[in-house]
Chain A
Amino acid sequence: MYSVSQTMEREAAPTLVFDDAFTLHHRAVYRTAYAVVRDVGLAEDVTQEVFLKLYHHMDAVPGDELLRAWLLRVAINVARNTLRGRSRANAREEEFAKSATAGTDGVTTALDVDYERRTQIEEARRALDHIKEPMRSCLLLKEQGLSYREIASALSVNEVNVGSLVARGRKEFARVYGKIGGRR
C-alpha cells in the first residue's frame, strides 16, 4: 500500500539547511545590499528581509549551486525597493555628510577612515551610479565572486553575454571614475 511515512521521509530531507545557507552566504548578501543602499543599517534590514524570504521559501528556492545567485538577486531587488522608498540622492548626501563629520559611529570601520578615503569612496560610488543596468549589477556580483553562470541566473541574462556586460561595465566605470578623479 502507498506509504505515507516513506513519502514523508524522502521529501522531508531538504537539499539545504537554512542555517548553512545563512552561514555561507550572509556576507555576500550583506555586502551586495550595502553596495546598493550604502548604509550599514539599511544593509542589515535588507539582509534580514532576504533571509526571511529564504526562510519562507525554502522548498521553492534553487538548489545549493544557484542558491547564492538567488539570494543576491533577492538582495538587489529588496535593496532597490528600500531605496525607492527614500529619496536616493538626499539619503546619500545625508549619509556622506554624516560620515564626513561624525566619522565614528561605532558601526563600521570602513567609514571610520580619513577624509581622503571617504572622498575616494564617494567618487567610486558616483562613478558606479553612472553605469547602466544590468552592467552595474554584473560588476557588483562579480565583485562578490559570483561565476558567470550565477550572475546570469541572478540577473536573468544570457550566460554568454555576461563577459561582455562585465567588460562594458568595467570600461564605463574606468571612463567616468577617471574623469571624476582626474586619474587618467
Chain B
Amino acid sequence: MKNCLDEGTLQAYLDGELSPATMKDAAAHAAACDACADAVREAEAELSMFAAAFAYEDAVVVPSARLRERLDASIAELQPSAPPPHAATMTDAKPNLRQWLATLAASFTLSPARATAFATLAAIVVIGVIIANVRTPEIDKAPTEMASNKENSASVSTTTNVQNANDRDLATSQGAARVPQVVESNGDNAVTSPRRGVGVEMVKASSRQVRAKCQPQTRTMAAESNVAKATDGARPSDEKELALPGEENYLIAIASLNRVIEAGGDVALRPALRADLERNVAELDKAITASRRKAQRNPQDKDAKDFLFAAYQSKVELLTTVADQTQMAALGR
C-alpha cells in the first residue's frame, strides 16, 4: 500500500509525537493497511518488553532527602557566608570567586559580566553625551573660531577627521543634542545607540590625542596625565593604605585628570554635565570599592583584581575624555 508509515513516523505515532493532523492520517492508514497494522503491533510488543525488562530498574528508590541534604551541605561549604545558599544565581565554579560574587551581589546585585558591561556602557554613553554637550557651544560660535581650532589640531589628521565627522554628526542632531534633556533620554535605545557609536569614536580619538601628545595646547595637560610623570599629591587619603600592585598608577592618573577637569572650571563643564559625570564616577567608584575590598581580602583572587582594574580603566577613560573636552572647550573660547 502507498504511503506506508516509516519506522520513525510509526514510533512518533505510538509516542503521540505527531501533529494532530498527521496523527489522524497515521491512525487512518494503520487501520487500513495490514502491513502497518502488523508493524504497530510488533512495535507495541517490543515497547512493552522494554518497559517490562526495566520495570525493576525504574522502581529504584530515589533517595530524595539524602540527595537534598548532600547538595545543601556542598553548597554551604562553597559559600559559608551566604544564608540561603541555593538562592544565588552565580556562574563560576571556583569557591573564592563565588564568595566574591556574593559580596558583589550584596553591594549592587549585578553579575560581574553584567556589572562590567554596565559600567563600560554607562561610561561610554555618558562620555558621548558629555562630549556632545561640551562641543555644541563651539559649533554655535563663529566659524572662524572653529577654523582656528581646527588649525590647532591639524597636526593629528586622523583625530581631526574623526572630530570633523563628529562635528557633522552633532550638527545634524543638534536640536536633540544641545540641550541637557538628552541626558534624560539615555535609557532610550533609539537615541543612545547612534550616540554610543559617537562616544566610542570619541574615546578612541581623544585617548589617541592624549597619548600622542601632538597638540601643543594639550601637551602640558597630557603630560600631567602621563602616569609615569605624575605625582601622587592629589591622591585621596583613604586610598593610601592600598598596596595592590598596579593600582598606584591608576590612582595617579585619576588624580591628575581630576586636576585637569577642575582647572577647566564650571565654564567648560556645565553644572548639569558635571552632575552626570559625578554620578557616573560614583558608580564606577562603587564598583572599584567593592572589588578592591574583595581583592584585598584575597590577593589570590585574580577575577577580583581584573574587575578592579577594568573599573579603574573605565574611570580613567571617562576622565580622560572629559579632561580632553574641557581643554578643547577652553581653547574654543
A-binding residues in B (CB < 8 A): 6-12, 15, 17, 43, 45-47, 49-51, 53-54, 56-64, 66-68, 70-71, 74-75, 86-93, 98, 108-111, 114, 118, 122, 125, 183-184, 186-187, 276, 279, 283
- Chain B contacts for A109, CB-based, 8 A: 59, 61
Q: A95: shortest Cβ distance to chain B, in Å?
A: 13
Known: A26-B67, A167-B43, A170-B47. Is A120-B89 also a contact (CB below 8 A)? no
Assess whether A110 is in contact with B60, with CB atoms less than 8 Å apart: yes
- Chain A contacts for B187, CB-based, 8 A: 2-3
Q: Which positions 1-35 of chain A face chain B at CB distance < 8 Å? A: 1-4, 7-8, 11-12, 14, 17-19, 22, 26-27, 30-31, 34-35
8 Å CB contact of B71 from A1, A4, A52, A163: A52
Q: Which of A62-70, A82-90, A171-179 contacts B (4 or more CB under 8 A)?
A: A171-179
Q: Could you show 23 A-B contacts with beta carbons less than 8 Å apart?
A: A4-B110, A4-B118, A4-B283, A18-B87, A30-B62, A30-B67, A40-B63, A48-B70, A51-B71, A55-B90, A56-B98, A108-B61, A110-B56, A121-B57, A143-B50, A143-B58, A147-B17, A162-B12, A163-B17, A167-B11, A170-B47, A170-B50, A171-B46
Q: Which positions 131-184 of chain A face chain B at CB distance < 8 Å? A: 139, 142-143, 147-148, 160-168, 170-171, 173-174, 177-178, 183
Complex-state Cα separation, A120 to B45, whole angstroms: 18
8 Å CB contact of B57 from A11, A12, A124, A161: A124
- Chain A contacts for B70, CB-based, 8 A: 44, 48
- Chain B contacts for A51, CB-based, 8 A: 67, 71
Known: A3-B187, A48-B74, A142-B15. Is A173-B50 also a contact (CB below 8 A)? yes
Q: A143: shortest Cβ distance to chain B, in Å?
A: 7
Assess whether A110 is in contact with B43, with CB atoms less than 8 Å apart: no
Assess whether A47 is in contact with B67, with CB atoms less than 8 Å apart: yes
- Chain B contacts for A148, CB-based, 8 A: 12, 15, 17
Complex-state Cα separation, A5 to B239, whole angstroms: 27
Complex-state Cα separation, A177 to B6, whole angstroms: 24
A102 close to chain B: CB less than 8 A? no
8 Å CB contact of B59 from A14, A110, A123, A147: A110
- Chain B contacts for A52, CB-based, 8 A: 71, 74-75
Q: A160: shortest Cβ distance to chain B, in Å?
A: 8
- Chain A contacts for B45, CB-based, 8 A: 174
Complex-state Cα separation, A48 to B71, whole angstroms: 6
- Chain A contacts for B98, CB-based, 8 A: 56
Assess whether B49 is in contact with A174, with CB atoms less than 8 Å apart: yes
- Chain A contacts for B47, CB-based, 8 A: 170
Complex-state Cα separation, A121 to B279, whole angstroms: 68
Known: A7-B118, A48-B70. Is A167-B64 also a contact (CB below 8 A)? no
Q: A51: shortest Cβ distance to chain B, in Å?
A: 5
Contact with B along A89-125 (1 / 0, CB 8 A): 0000000000000000001111001000100110111
Q: B35: shortest Cβ distance to chain A, in Å?
A: 15
Assess whether A161 is in contact with B8, with CB atoms less than 8 Å apart: yes
Assess whether A31 is in contact with B11, with CB atoms less than 8 Å apart: no
Assess whether A124 is in contact with B125, with CB atoms less than 8 Å apart: no
